[in-house]
Amino acid sequence: MYWNPVIEKMGPDEIREMQGRLLRNTVHYAYSYSPFYRELYDSAGIKPDDIRSVDDVTKLPFVKKQDLRDSYPYGMFAVPLSKILRIHASSGTTGKPTVTGYTADDLELWSESLARGLYSAGIRKEDIIQNAYGYGLFTGGLGFHYAGEKIGATVIPSSSGNTQRQIELMKDLGSTVICCTPSYMIYLTEYALKMGVDLKEDTKLRMGVFGAEPWSEETRKRIENKSGIDAINIYGTSEISGPVVSECHEKAGIHFWGDIFLIEVIDPKTGEQLGEGEKGELVVTVLGKEGLPMIRWRTGDITSIIYEKCNCGRWHPRIDRITGRADDMFIVRGVNVFPSHVEYALMQVKEVSEHYMIILERDENGLDLMKVQVEINPEYVGKIAFDELARKVQETLRSYLNVTPAVEIVEPETLPRFEGKAKRVVDKRRV
């Protein structure tokens, strides 16, 4: 049940005391070896000795994505490049990419953290893990690869795409675990049926580990019902070490290991810390990261913290499901909307499928228009009129979102499928 019993069985007071000590060490290290952090803390009038306990973390300034871009490529590193074993980077589609570097100890910390998470979810050395995350500058593929090997499991580095081949590998090699985005798992399930393959009956698949995009509890249920697997939620950002933490087998929140991370949730506008259960922006401090220290990193992801003991027996803090990113939120006529909220509402309607698109435009008067395209569930083709279903979906969306979008019901297999992160929003207001 435990990968690292000494750490995982710690009580809340032990965890907090340990975090205070590790936080002090981390701040001293960053101030001593990173010119970026020394300048940041000097400008804020902060010295490392001002940090004596976990409560003092609020004295420290936040670190944001723009800081990484401004320091491109290596300006935030705390070690010479001769000590960096691996570099990852974001796509840079909205500006300069964010570059992260890892020492040997950083890579070990990353693998240890995710190995604990995957083990707590139920993955064992007897498993065969088909890793359909992309290998390359994106952190997903290599993160799962080394964590799986650390557990002792067999890893198939299938990478993303080539869907027919993925399903053939599942059957031929006896994969028991699949790692990919949730949207790609939905596509895999559909594609398998076209090939005459029932994942429940024709493969040994028993678990899927999904992340890299927000997904709802309702989508989890649909994936599990269609594929017959346990669907596990994971979390990570390239800045804190890619996919790095996961749910345990209880599926009741993602555990952040207290000896590796200190987490907070803040009001995105004011920066003030929020209490347990209050929804806000996740802030992560990695305790002991050498190559690129991350102290009070604003992730942009919206969630809440759970401090109570998990039914698995662990006291390490958890986060609730990510409901979206602060920069993914869009405003329609004064109403804040996250794509994940749209997905949640759609999944309440059994007559529609998991495939949808959100299109944002403006009318001739400059007013926002929102249209949701969604495929009819193949099981209900011919059983309900499209216009009747559109009215039902529109009313459901209105009740959940407090905005009334136009709804277009389309035939099955009409909308795009995604082999990586799903792109659900087309905002024509920016064109």
The DSSP-derived string for 155-220 is EE---S--HHHHHHHHHHHT--EEEE-HHHHHHHHHHHHHTT--HHHHS---EEEE-SS---HHHH
Give me the residue spans of the domains in the chain: 1-325, 330-430
How would CATH label the architecture of 1-325?
Answer: 3-Layer(aba) Sandwich (3.40)
pTM: 0.89
257 with 245: CB under 8 angstroms?
yes
pLDDT digits (tens, 9 = 90+) for 8-63: 999 999 999 999 999 999 999 999 999 999 999 999 999 999 999 999 999 999 99
Highest mean pLDDT pick, 127-131, 211-215, 341-345, 417-421: 127-131
* Domain 330-430 superfamily per CATH: ANL, C-terminal domain (3.30.300.30)
Categorize the per-residue pLDDT at 5 as very low, low, confident or very high, splitting at 50, 70 and 90: very high
Q: Does residue 1 have a pLDDT over 90?
A: no
pLDDT digits (tens, 9 = 90+) for 84-98: 999 999 865 456 788
**pLDDT score of 244:** 96
Categorize the per-residue pLDDT at 303 as very low, low, confident or very high, splitting at 50, 70 and 90: very high
**C-alpha–C-alpha distance, residues 410 and 282, integer Å:** 36
